[in-house]
Amino acid sequence: MAEDEQEPGGISRKSFITAVGVGALALPAAVSAATPAEARTRPQAPRQLTPTPKCDDGDDDPTPPQMEGPYFKPGSPERTNLVTSGMPGTRLSLTGIVYSLSCAPVGRALLDFWQADYYGRYDNVTYTLRGHQYTDAAGRFSLQTIVPGLYPGRTRHIHVKVQAPNQPILTTQLYFPGEPRNSSDPLYDPELLMKVSTAPTGRTARFDFVLQVP
Protein backbone atom coordinates (compact mmCIF):
# COMPACT_ATOMS: atom_id res chain seq x y z
CA MET A 1 0.00 0.00 0.00
CA ALA A 2 1.29 3.48 -0.87
CA GLU A 3 2.12 5.77 2.03
CA ASP A 4 -0.83 8.07 1.28
CA GLU A 5 -3.28 5.30 0.41
CA GLN A 6 -6.63 5.68 2.07
CA GLU A 7 -7.45 3.79 5.28
CA PRO A 8 -11.08 2.76 5.88
CA GLY A 9 -13.11 5.83 6.71
CA GLY A 10 -11.32 8.14 4.26
CA ILE A 11 -8.19 8.88 6.37
CA SER A 12 -4.82 8.61 4.61
CA ARG A 13 -2.27 6.12 5.99
CA LYS A 14 0.15 8.98 6.79
CA SER A 15 -2.51 11.00 8.58
CA PHE A 16 -3.70 7.90 10.47
CA ILE A 17 -0.19 7.01 11.70
CA THR A 18 0.56 10.61 12.63
CA ALA A 19 -2.68 11.00 14.52
CA VAL A 20 -2.20 7.76 16.45
CA GLY A 21 1.37 8.65 17.24
CA VAL A 22 0.40 11.89 18.96
CA GLY A 23 -2.83 10.56 20.48
CA ALA A 24 -4.90 13.10 18.59
CA LEU A 25 -7.27 10.76 16.75
CA ALA A 26 -10.78 11.60 17.95
CA LEU A 27 -13.15 8.77 18.75
CA PRO A 28 -16.40 8.64 16.81
CA ALA A 29 -19.22 10.40 18.58
CA ALA A 30 -21.04 7.11 19.17
CA VAL A 31 -18.24 5.75 21.37
CA SER A 32 -16.86 8.92 22.94
CA ALA A 33 -16.76 9.06 26.73
CA ALA A 34 -19.79 10.64 28.41
CA THR A 35 -19.38 13.90 30.24
CA PRO A 36 -20.17 13.91 33.99
CA ALA A 37 -23.44 15.71 33.27
CA GLU A 38 -24.45 13.10 30.71
CA ALA A 39 -23.59 10.28 33.13
CA ARG A 40 -25.82 11.80 35.78
CA THR A 41 -28.77 11.97 33.42
CA ARG A 42 -28.53 8.39 32.19
CA PRO A 43 -31.32 6.15 33.50
CA GLN A 44 -30.13 4.02 36.44
CA ALA A 45 -30.93 0.35 36.90
CA PRO A 46 -33.64 -0.16 39.54
CA ARG A 47 -32.27 -0.95 43.01
CA GLN A 48 -33.13 -4.46 44.20
CA LEU A 49 -35.00 -4.28 47.49
CA THR A 50 -34.61 -6.87 50.22
CA PRO A 51 -37.88 -8.77 50.70
CA THR A 52 -39.66 -8.06 53.95
CA PRO A 53 -40.01 -10.91 56.48
CA LYS A 54 -43.59 -11.38 55.33
CA CYS A 55 -45.23 -12.17 52.03
CA ASP A 56 -42.37 -11.52 49.62
CA ASP A 57 -44.10 -13.45 46.87
CA GLY A 58 -47.78 -13.09 47.69
CA ASP A 59 -47.99 -16.67 48.99
CA ASP A 60 -45.53 -16.95 51.84
CA ASP A 61 -45.30 -19.73 54.42
CA PRO A 62 -47.05 -19.19 57.74
CA THR A 63 -45.00 -18.44 60.86
CA PRO A 64 -43.83 -21.76 62.37
CA PRO A 65 -45.48 -22.85 65.63
CA GLN A 66 -43.54 -23.86 68.72
CA MET A 67 -44.38 -25.42 72.05
CA GLU A 68 -46.14 -23.37 74.71
CA GLY A 69 -43.79 -24.42 77.50
CA PRO A 70 -44.63 -24.72 81.19
CA TYR A 71 -44.91 -21.02 82.06
CA PHE A 72 -47.94 -19.75 80.16
CA LYS A 73 -50.54 -18.13 82.39
CA PRO A 74 -53.96 -17.11 80.98
CA GLY A 75 -55.66 -13.88 81.91
CA SER A 76 -52.80 -11.45 81.36
CA PRO A 77 -53.66 -7.73 81.47
CA GLU A 78 -54.17 -5.82 78.23
CA ARG A 79 -51.15 -3.56 77.83
CA THR A 80 -48.39 -2.73 75.36
CA ASN A 81 -45.74 -1.88 77.99
CA LEU A 82 -44.49 -4.71 80.22
CA VAL A 83 -41.76 -2.63 81.88
CA THR A 84 -42.35 -1.51 85.47
CA SER A 85 -40.50 1.12 87.48
CA GLY A 86 -37.04 -0.02 88.56
CA MET A 87 -37.14 -3.20 86.48
CA PRO A 88 -33.56 -4.31 85.63
CA GLY A 89 -32.63 -5.26 82.10
CA THR A 90 -31.96 -3.79 78.66
CA ARG A 91 -35.04 -2.11 77.25
CA LEU A 92 -36.47 -3.72 74.10
CA SER A 93 -38.99 -2.22 71.69
CA LEU A 94 -40.61 -4.92 69.51
CA THR A 95 -42.81 -3.95 66.58
CA GLY A 96 -44.31 -5.73 63.60
CA ILE A 97 -47.39 -6.55 61.54
CA VAL A 98 -49.69 -9.57 61.54
CA TYR A 99 -50.54 -10.78 58.02
CA SER A 100 -52.77 -13.42 56.50
CA LEU A 101 -51.55 -15.91 53.89
CA SER A 102 -52.73 -13.51 51.18
CA CYS A 103 -50.52 -10.76 52.66
CA ALA A 104 -53.48 -8.78 53.99
CA PRO A 105 -52.92 -7.11 57.37
CA VAL A 106 -55.01 -8.66 60.13
CA GLY A 107 -56.74 -6.05 62.26
CA ARG A 108 -57.78 -6.83 65.85
CA ALA A 109 -55.48 -9.85 66.00
CA LEU A 110 -54.72 -10.87 69.57
CA LEU A 111 -51.08 -11.14 70.70
CA ASP A 112 -50.35 -12.51 74.18
CA PHE A 113 -46.68 -12.18 75.27
CA TRP A 114 -44.83 -13.71 78.21
CA GLN A 115 -41.13 -14.03 79.00
CA ALA A 116 -38.41 -14.46 81.61
CA ASP A 117 -37.05 -11.48 83.53
CA TYR A 118 -33.47 -10.20 83.59
CA TYR A 119 -32.45 -13.11 85.85
CA GLY A 120 -34.09 -15.78 83.68
CA ARG A 121 -37.10 -16.24 85.96
CA TYR A 122 -40.82 -16.31 85.12
CA ASP A 123 -43.38 -14.73 87.40
CA ASN A 124 -46.01 -17.43 87.95
CA VAL A 125 -47.77 -15.59 90.80
CA THR A 126 -48.65 -12.24 89.28
CA TYR A 127 -48.31 -10.92 85.71
CA THR A 128 -44.82 -9.43 85.58
CA LEU A 129 -43.59 -9.39 81.97
CA ARG A 130 -46.92 -10.73 80.75
CA GLY A 131 -49.52 -8.92 78.70
CA HIS A 132 -51.80 -9.05 75.69
CA GLN A 133 -52.78 -6.51 73.06
CA TYR A 134 -54.61 -6.21 69.73
CA THR A 135 -53.33 -5.08 66.35
CA ASP A 136 -54.68 -1.89 64.83
CA ALA A 137 -56.59 -1.75 61.52
CA ALA A 138 -53.27 -2.02 59.61
CA GLY A 139 -52.25 -5.16 61.51
CA ARG A 140 -49.55 -3.37 63.51
CA PHE A 141 -48.48 -4.09 67.07
CA SER A 142 -45.90 -2.57 69.42
CA LEU A 143 -44.47 -3.99 72.63
CA GLN A 144 -42.21 -2.35 75.21
CA THR A 145 -40.34 -4.91 77.31
CA ILE A 146 -36.79 -5.98 78.27
CA VAL A 147 -34.31 -8.43 76.78
CA PRO A 148 -35.09 -11.68 78.64
CA GLY A 149 -32.43 -13.38 80.74
CA LEU A 150 -31.05 -16.87 80.29
CA TYR A 151 -31.89 -20.03 82.17
CA PRO A 152 -30.53 -23.59 81.84
CA GLY A 153 -31.18 -25.34 78.55
CA ARG A 154 -32.57 -22.37 76.62
CA THR A 155 -31.35 -19.47 74.55
CA ARG A 156 -32.97 -16.02 74.84
CA HIS A 157 -36.56 -16.05 73.63
CA ILE A 158 -39.98 -14.44 73.97
CA HIS A 159 -43.19 -16.48 74.00
CA VAL A 160 -46.27 -15.32 72.12
CA LYS A 161 -49.72 -16.50 71.12
CA VAL A 162 -51.23 -14.85 68.04
CA GLN A 163 -54.85 -15.22 66.96
CA ALA A 164 -56.84 -13.62 64.17
CA PRO A 165 -60.46 -12.96 65.15
CA ASN A 166 -62.38 -16.25 65.41
CA GLN A 167 -59.43 -18.24 64.06
CA PRO A 168 -57.06 -20.87 65.51
CA ILE A 169 -54.27 -19.74 67.86
CA LEU A 170 -50.64 -19.73 66.75
CA THR A 171 -48.32 -20.43 69.68
CA THR A 172 -44.65 -19.75 68.99
CA GLN A 173 -41.41 -18.20 70.27
CA LEU A 174 -39.21 -15.38 69.00
CA TYR A 175 -35.41 -15.48 69.05
CA PHE A 176 -32.47 -13.06 69.07
CA PRO A 177 -29.71 -13.20 66.42
CA GLY A 178 -26.11 -13.80 67.42
CA GLU A 179 -26.85 -15.57 70.69
CA PRO A 180 -24.23 -18.23 71.59
CA ARG A 181 -26.91 -20.62 72.82
CA ASN A 182 -28.88 -20.57 69.57
CA SER A 183 -26.77 -23.46 68.30
CA SER A 184 -27.39 -25.63 71.36
CA ASP A 185 -31.07 -24.91 72.05
CA PRO A 186 -33.09 -27.80 70.53
CA LEU A 187 -36.13 -25.54 70.05
CA TYR A 188 -34.32 -22.73 68.26
CA ASP A 189 -35.62 -22.03 64.75
CA PRO A 190 -33.89 -19.44 62.51
CA GLU A 191 -37.23 -18.71 60.83
CA LEU A 192 -38.30 -17.15 64.15
CA LEU A 193 -35.38 -14.74 64.42
CA MET A 194 -36.29 -11.14 65.09
CA LYS A 195 -34.42 -8.35 63.30
CA VAL A 196 -32.66 -6.69 66.23
CA SER A 197 -30.58 -3.51 66.35
CA THR A 198 -29.11 -1.27 69.02
CA ALA A 199 -30.90 1.97 69.87
CA PRO A 200 -29.92 4.89 72.14
CA THR A 201 -32.26 3.66 74.88
CA GLY A 202 -31.72 -0.08 74.45
CA ARG A 203 -32.56 -2.35 71.55
CA THR A 204 -35.23 -2.45 68.84
CA ALA A 205 -36.64 -5.58 67.23
CA ARG A 206 -38.96 -6.35 64.33
CA PHE A 207 -40.97 -9.45 63.51
CA ASP A 208 -43.93 -9.90 61.16
CA PHE A 209 -46.28 -12.83 61.70
CA VAL A 210 -48.01 -14.69 58.87
CA LEU A 211 -51.07 -16.54 60.13
CA GLN A 212 -52.57 -19.57 58.45
CA VAL A 213 -55.78 -17.75 57.54
CA PRO A 214 -56.97 -16.70 54.06
User: Longest C-alpha distance within the chain, in Å?
Assistant: 106
Pick from 186, 154, 152, 191: which is nearest to 172 by CA? 191
CB 41 within 8 A of CB 170: no
Whether 83 maps to a domain, the answer reads: no
- Number of folded domains in the chain? 2
> DSSP for 100-166?
-TTS-B-TT-EEEEE---TTS---SSS-TTEEEEE--TTSEEEEEEE-----TT--SEEEEEEE-TT
Q: Is 55 within the bounds of a domain?
A: no
The CA-CA-CA angle for residues 61, 210, 135, to 5°, reads 175
- Note whether 32 and 124 are same-domain residues: no
Range among 20-34, 46-60, 144-158 with highest mean pLDDT value: 144-158
Residue 61: the pLDDT is: 85
Please tell me whether residues 96 and 30 are part of one structural domain.
no
Judgement on whether residues 122 and 199 belong to the same structural domain of the protein: yes
Q: What is the pLDDT of residues 159-174, one digit of tens each?
A: 999 999 999 999 999 9
- As a whole number, mean pLDDT of residues 72-90 equals 97
Say what the pTM is: 0.74
Q: Residue 32's domain spans which residues?
A: 6-41
35 and 100, same domain (yes or no): no
The amino acid that residue 178 corresponds to is G
pLDDT, tens digit (0-9, with 9 covering 90-100), for 175-207: 999 999 999 999 999 999 999 999 999 999 999
Please tell me whether residues 120 and 178 are part of one structural domain: yes
List 202's β-bridge partners, or say none: 199
Mean pLDDT of 136-163: 98
CA–CA separation, 51 vs 48, rounded Å?
9
